[in-house]
Structure formats: C-alpha cells, structure tokens
Structure 1
Amino acid sequence: MVKISRLIRNSAAGAAGIFSGLILFSKFKGQPESHPIPPFFTRKSHYIFAHRGGMALRPEQTKLAFDNAKDYEVDGFETDVRVTSDEKLIVFHDATVDRTNNGSGKVREHRLDELQRLDAGYHFKDINNDTPYRNHPDAKILTFDELLELYPDMLINVDLKDSPDSYEGTIAPELLFESIARHDAQDRVLVTSFYQDQIARFSEFSLGTVAVGASQEEVTVGLAKFFTGLGNMFEVQANTFQMPTSYNGIPLTSQRLIQWLNSRNIVPGYYGVNSIDLMSDLFNKGTHTIVTDRPDLAYQYRQNQSQH
C-alpha cells in the first residue's frame, strides 16, 4: 500500500506565479490518453479489501485473518510480500519478525522453514487484551503461492515491500510475477509498491498483463498537478491511486478529486477506512476501492445498503 510523504505541502504557495502560463496552456490542451481499465477492476464494484486480512480482528497476514475476512464477504485482501534468505516470497509486512511473531531478526536473514515455525499469533490481543490465538495452527506465515492457492476466487492487492536497492528487492518483482503466472492469476492480482523502481521492474516481466498501482512518487506528482490546476497534463502510468483520506491536514477525499481520477481511468482507492460512515461517504462520491482493518464493519455497511 502506497504511503504519501511530503505530499504537495508547498506546491500551492508558488503555483500562481510559476505555473500560471502552464495552467492557461493546460486548459486548451487535450487530456493525455488514459490507460484502459484492466480486468482486475471489471468485477462488480465497489471493492472492499481487508487490510492484511483484517488486522484489527485476527493476527495479520495469517490464514486466521484471511478466513475471517472471507466470512465477512470482502472482495479481496490487501497484503504485502517480502523475500526470505532462501529466496521464497512470503506474505509479510515488516522488515523484521519481532512485532507480530515470537521470533526476532530480519525476514531476509531467515529461511522459509524457520519463519513458518514461528507463532504469528503470539502478540495479537483482542478487545479484552487477551491473546487467544497463540499457538493456533492457522497463525502461521504463508507464502504468496499458498495465498493464491487457498483463495482462488479472491482479489489480491499485493505490495512489494523490499527496497529496490537490496538483493531481495532486485529479485522480488520476478518472483512475484512467476507466482502470479503459475496460478493463472493475472486478472485477480493488483501489484503496488512504495517504490517506483519496483513497479517498473515488475512491469518489465508482466508486460501489462497485471494491474499495477501508483508508487508514492506517481501519486505525489499526480495530486500536485491536480491541486495546481495541471491535472490535464498528468501522464498516468498506473491503473489506480491508493491514498489516505488526508495528509498533514490536506483532505484527499473531495468529490472533485475522485471525479478527476475516474475521468482519467485512474481507479480511486482509499486505505485506513474503518467506519461505516466513511465507507458510505467515499462510495457515494465515486470511490471504487476501500481498504479496511475492520471487515466486520464492511459487512455491516453492505447489509445496511441492501436494506435500502
């Protein structure tokens, strides 16, 4: 999932003088050609994805979490992948195992078999501050292959986490594409990354057969151009923007922004959406995808909608 930093914080201040000529030009310039909508986004909208399987309810990125989210009828999972020391692709967010498992050290320093012996439910606490999933057989680290095999009908939004400057980062895009192709999952996987280089590397292997999300860099450039009146000059590469609802006090959920994204075939998506009211507001404005830690609330939202 893309996290935006330094987002257009100072762009508006000098925009009037610096870009006034460009703004006038952009009003007479036709919009750049938009990419077609890829198969990933052609299922019935709207999409609701469980963030790391619904990390508020179950130990994140485990079969426990994914099974629970599926029971709440989400459309798919938002997840992450990292590479182990023996070059296996696992479903995991952090660079180290300490926060979520009863082990320590960096993911890249451990073999897959070592990681899968850890207890991924060790630190998880429920609303009563208990640890009910310690030593649970389904609280284990999964490979990305296992995720695709266990949930053949679910959409998967996967984020390449390893830095492009690391050895793991250099091989992760190819490993990911090979796994997707092995399971004939090109139409149900969306690949994103914090890093533009990782998306570019993955695209070299996928050749446009797999939907891709925008990097931090592309989201920042796109939003800066939109907010300074240069939206018509933005040359989009990705199929979707995944954004927080606000950044440093700057709201990112205006209907005008969402309409602009839709007009450019940039699928608008938001993460950190953990209330029914916010889900309703975003979908009413034209948002296509939300990512939530609370699949139970997403289920309640849809139940409420079905009654109207």
Structure 2
Amino acid sequence: MGRKTKVALTVGAASVAAWAASKAVAKPKPRLQKEALAFEDPVILADCSKLNDVPSLTMTAFSKCVELGVHGFAVDVRLTKDEEIILFQDELTDRTTDFSGKVCDYTFAELQQADAGYMLTDKDGNHPYRGTGEQIVSLRELLLVYPQLLLVVNLRDSPDTYEGSLIPSKLWRLLEESEAENRVIVTSNFDEQTDRFNLYAQNKVATGAGKDEVKKAYSVFSSKFGHLYNPRADIFIIPEKFGLFRMNTENFISFLSKVNVAVYYEDVNDKETMSKLLNAGASGFITSQPEAMLSFLQHVTNS
C-alpha cells in the first residue's frame, strides 16, 4: 500500500469519525410552530407587484385578488420620510408613479398625491388607470382592511440606510398596534433585517430566511452534516433554483420540514410547476396568476 493511499484512508476514517461523533451529540432545535403558518392545505398568496392588468400594490389589485379567494398577499414595503411603512417595491418612485426621486425623500401624504396607476399599460399601449385616482397604500391600511388574510411582508430597505435601520422597530410597533402578530410573516433578502426585527418581536412573529440563511441551509443539506443545522427562520420563501442550486426537491423540503421550517415557492405561475412542487411537499405558493393557480389547486384537492 502506497503512502498516498494510506493518507487518503486516514483522512477518510477521520471524516467518518467526525461525522459519527457529531451525529451522537447533535441536538437540532426545530422551530416552534407559528400560528401564521398553521395551514392544513397549501396556501396561495398573490404577488400584487406583478399582476398584469391592475396597478401594482394598489387597493384595486388587492380587492381583485380577494374576490378570487386568495389566502393573502406577498408585499414589499419601504419607509417614507415621515416613517410610515408603505407598500412599494422599487426604491425610485418614477419606476411606478408619475413622481421622481426616492421613496425616503417624500412623506406619506406627499406620496399619496402621486398617480399610482401612471405606469401601467395594456396590450395596445394605452394607460387605462392613469388619472383614475389610484394611490400608494400603507401597510397600516392593508392590515386594517383585510384582518382575515395572511401577509408576507418583505423589508426592501437595506439595513445600511437610515430608513433601513428604522423599519424593523417601526414594523414591530405597527404589528403590535394592529394585533397582527399572528397573521404576518416578516422576511427580507437581508438576514440582518429579520434579525433586527426579531430583537423586538422575540419570536412572536413568523420570520423568513434571507439569502445567507438559504445558502447556509443548502450547504449543510448537501453535506453529510445536515443533522447539525439549526434554523434561524420559520419559513423559506424561495425560487425553484437559487443560482446553480435546485431548491425544488422533495429531499430538500423534507430536510427543512424535520426542523419545522415551511417552504413556500415564489413566482409559481403555471400548473406544471405547481403540480411538481405540491408532490414534493411545498406548503405554499406566491404567484402573479392567482386565478389560474387557485383553480388548479381546487381541482387537485377535489380529485
């Protein structure tokens, strides 16, 4: 037996020993069940920032989706100059309204003067909602109007900005005032934002994994040390693929479910994708085609 072979066998034996030792002492802590995630059947949430025929994140969009029977909404939020949390995806107002500049440069009252239907065009290039009185909506209003629905609230402001540093505490106070702690999921691409929010919420509100937590979980899942994973979030809201990695497998969903982490998939807009993910064990879907997805889910449930 050559020297290289002996070294390889020694390293392999050491790896097996390390795995066995960690397996013996590891005690992963599953997440405590959150009321916001206590659904028996798969959940359909409307992404009202991507609907094709109504202005993004307006009461017209929400009303239409409620009539269809969605379980709730996935919304992006930002903080205004006077520290009101509004439903708004982009940082710049001129990407969605007839105003120009950053959201954080305006008060909520000023932003309500903007035409939120200004940008939407139909297939013929017309602007059917321009000048119809569509307004930017506050999160406070949405919580008040639809107290029965589930909301995924995505914190868009970077933690490195002034408004981003404030919004976790502002959101917690709003949820407390609205008594909405049990029907909201708070998430952000920045794990730091959900960590900051949880300093106030103290695990009373369901939180979603950011990019770093998703990468960490998948890395551990792909290794032999998945038994060491302790989740920092209650739910993963993820695409089917994250970079080069497939997030849509039954094994990955099962890995997360063992530590009581739910998995919702975003941008699910066709029946084939939904069917595949349902079979894999997905708990929910975020879609810009809620009517078609609700119809298909009802068909699958009744068949």
Please give the TM-score of this superposition, normalised by the length of structure 2: 0.90
Matching residue of 2:51: 55
Contact 2:241/2:247 (CA < 8 Å) preserved in 1? yes
1:142 aligns with 2:133: no
* Aligned-partner residue type, residue 154 of structure 2: D
In the alignment, structure 1 segments of 5+ residues that lack a partner are: 1-15
Contact 2:49/2:89 (CA < 8 Å) preserved in 1? no
Matching residue of 1:246: 241
Counterpart CA distance in 2 for 1:32 and 1:142 is 41
Percent identical: 31
Please give the TM-score of this superposition, normalised by the length of structure 1: 0.89
Q: Pick the structure with more helix per residue.
A: 2
How far residue 37 of structure 1 moved from its aligned partner, in angstroms, is 1.5
Contact 2:122/2:128 (CA < 8 Å) preserved in 1? yes
Counterpart CA distance in 1 for 2:237 and 2:120 is 27
Q: Equivalences for 1:246-285 in 2 at 5 Å?
A: 246-285=241-280
Counterpart CA distance in 1 for 2:70 and 2:27 is 35
Higher relative contact order (CA 8 A, sep 6+): 1
1:248–1:205 Cα change, 3 Å:
closer
1:277–1:241 Cα change, 3 Å:
same
Matching residue of 1:11: none
How far residue 44 of structure 1 moved from its aligned partner, in angstroms, is 3.2
Question: Does the residue aligned with 1:187 lie in a helix, a strand or coil?
Answer: helix
1:102 aligns with 2:98: yes
How far residue 250 of structure 1 moved from its aligned partner, in angstroms, is 2.9
Q: Given the alignment, which residue of 164, 183, 197 partners 2:159?
A: 164
How far residue 151 of structure 1 moved from its aligned partner, in angstroms, is 0.8
Q: Given the alignment, which residue of 164, 177, 188 partners 1:182?
A: 177
1:207–1:248 Cα change, 3 Å:
closer
Counterpart CA distance in 1 for 2:13 and 2:71 is 46
1:75 aligns with 2:78: no
Counterpart CA distance in 1 for 2:246 and 2:15 is 22
Matching residue of 2:297: 302
Count of aligned pairs:
292
Q: Given the alignment, which residue of 74, 80, 87 partners 1:84?
A: 80
Contact 1:155/1:188 (CA < 8 Å) preserved in 2? yes
Q: Deviations over 1:58-87 (max 9, x none)?
A: 211111111111111111100011111111
Matching residue of 1:153: 148
Larger gyration radius, structure 1 or structure 2? 2
* Aligned-partner residue type, residue 64 of structure 2: N
How far residue 52 of structure 1 moved from its aligned partner, in angstroms, is 2.9
1:228–1:130 Cα change, 3 Å:
farther
